[in-house]
Structure 1
């Protein structure tokens, strides 16, 4: 009997050892798999809908041949049950991702980030076109107006009231959230510049500062000239001279502008034609940068009343009409 028991113990010991070795091999096989790269050759997106389960998501990836040994991933999750919980959204799958890193993304909700640049000097219409080209954003034609109304602005005039910047978003972000962030940022920066403005500028409100800044933005080819261009416009406003700036004419022409301004365009009476109206146009003509807003609030201390392009992005500034005409002849009419 004793010999039989000893033999049984030996057999059980061998079986246990085999079981331990088999489990160790299986354990290593599972962990080797979840730490090996998934089967993609370039980045791609994975959309996890609201209410989707981990099992359903793994099956989707298996059908797409991103992963194959799904049972190994499920076994790994059994050992790490917290990974069963996943969050909805669009995820970026990278070629360096492994099943383990993918599970971590899904569990933490590390969704893909997108970005959109709302460029200074562009109009609301141009920004709408930019937003419409962005992935994962649903944009309506009234997007800017809706934000104005939500913020208590019922003017229906969104131009210039949104801050140009690069905004980051995810698939869960609405265009309203992006534009609200932009609107509030412009309010903060504009009001700060208005409070800190030079006291001798001939402007009556922060909105007038915004309008002037938008004109400076469109007239500036070189950043170091912003404050001087601002001085020209401030000096003209102070002397009740018309601004006579082409970008306002172009804005007033709208879709009719084809790249050229003719004499009849300069004579046309529109609300934005500063060759025909006194003072500032009724609204901004584009989204000004913070640099242009600050320049509008703090013009250079110079007496210039005129400037003309040198066709290289810079300008010649003049105090008298005679000096200005000489510069126009030299740089625009090619006369000596």
Structure 2
């Protein structure tokens, strides 16, 4: 038995040495690239595992699990930096890791998240040390004039995406690019819209898309949520959507929406004012734009959160009240 254990231990040592040697060879061996040069974007605030997945999706032939192991073994997992990286033929796993740890970027990035209010977009852009901040001190209206936009209220007019730029670029150029991107997406969606929608202009549809964006818990519900609000507009019913009320409260909102908030009139209170609010309330995604332009075919007028991120839709108030009892109050009838 002792000889068996000794042999087993020796085999384990040999296997470990072989595995270590194979891993060391792999770390210094050129990787297959889908193109050369190859540009890969690493998003801000990415975990090591996420960086590995982004590298693989970007066209670098490296198993994300092996990248994670390499980052841990070298101690560089906490040093990885966001940005746009260029990789050439001959790049090895170790050189890829070291480049990202050094932050040897060809482009810097700012990511604008769908559902953000414009103030969050401004904060993210203001926080980038690689940009030239020409908009610092400008009001929102001044900023809109500076980029040549006819609108004075910026909410909803910038497309949420990841934007690349070189060090020293003006933040005005980034705003212009994001504004023009939204104008293109909005024009395309408007051209493909369903007939008979209760919108007077593409801007109305943009407002609706922003509401859909803030009300959607699961992506599959977007078109149904849009249908509910469009049906209510057609019937001259109040939209009664909480996100517009919250937007109207601004910094006064403390995370708890109260009955008195629903009763306090503001231009954005869709419990006290009919129709759409005066501006969008967030930056809508492409999916929300599509939902606002091509809603589901439904007679639903109400919906309530089920508690799992999805919504229960109802065609009548009694049906909706039963759904509220079931999903919000824990009652059954």
Q: TM-score range by the shorter chain?
A: 0.5 to 0.7
Post-superposition Cα deviations, 1:238-266, rounded to whole Å, max 9, x if no partner, equal 00001000000000000011111100000
Residue 144 of structure 1: how far off its partner (Å): 5.3
Picking from 151, 156, 172, the partner of 2:152 is 156
Residue 150 of structure 1: how far off its partner (Å): 4.0
Q: Is the 8 A contact 1:128 1:141 kept in 2?
A: no
Post-superposition Cα deviations, 1:131-165, rounded to whole Å, max 9, x if no partner, equal 12222224325375445214543442000001100
Q: Which runs of 4+ in 1 moved over 3 A?
A: 143-147, 150-155
- The match for 2:165 is 169
- The match for 1:289 is 285
Does the residue aligned with 2:239 lie in a helix, a strand or coil? coil
Q: Give the distance between the partners of 2:214 and 2:176, measured in 1 at CA.
A: 24
- The match for 1:117 is 111
Cα 1:331–1:219 change in 2 (3 A) is same
Does the residue aligned with 2:283 lie in a helix, a strand or coil? coil
Cα 1:264–1:111 change in 2 (3 A) is closer
Q: Give the distance between the partners of 1:335 and 1:129, measured in 2 at CA.
A: 43
- The match for 1:127 is 121
Picking from 297, 301, 313, the partner of 1:305 is 301
Does the residue aligned with 2:303 lie in a helix, a strand or coil? strand
Larger Rg: 1
Kindly report which structure 2 residues correspond to 1:183-194, keeping only aligned pairs within 5 A, or say none: 183-194=179-190
Give the gaps of 5 or more residues in structure 2: 1-84, 92-103
Picking from 327, 330, 335, the partner of 2:331 is 335
Does the residue aligned with 1:236 lie in a helix, a strand or coil? helix
Residue 330 of structure 1: how far off its partner (Å): 1.2
Q: Does 1:212 align with 2:181?
A: no
Superposition RMSD on alpha carbons, in Å? 2.1
Does the residue aligned with 1:316 lie in a helix, a strand or coil? strand
Q: Give the distance between the partners of 1:154 and 1:166, measured in 2 at CA.
A: 24
- The match for 1:316 is 312
Q: Give the distance between the partners of 2:207 and 2:178, measured in 1 at CA.
A: 17
Aligned length: 231
Kindly report which structure 2 residues correspond to 1:1-336, keeping only aligned pairs within 5 A, or say none: 112-139=106-133, 140-142=136-138, 145-336=141-332
Q: Is the 8 A contact 1:144 1:179 kept in 2?
A: no
Does the residue aligned with 1:168 lie in a helix, a strand or coil? strand
Q: Is the 8 A contact 2:140 2:153 kept in 1?
A: no
Post-superposition Cα deviations, 1:172-203, rounded to whole Å, max 9, x if no partner, equal 21111111000001001101111221111111
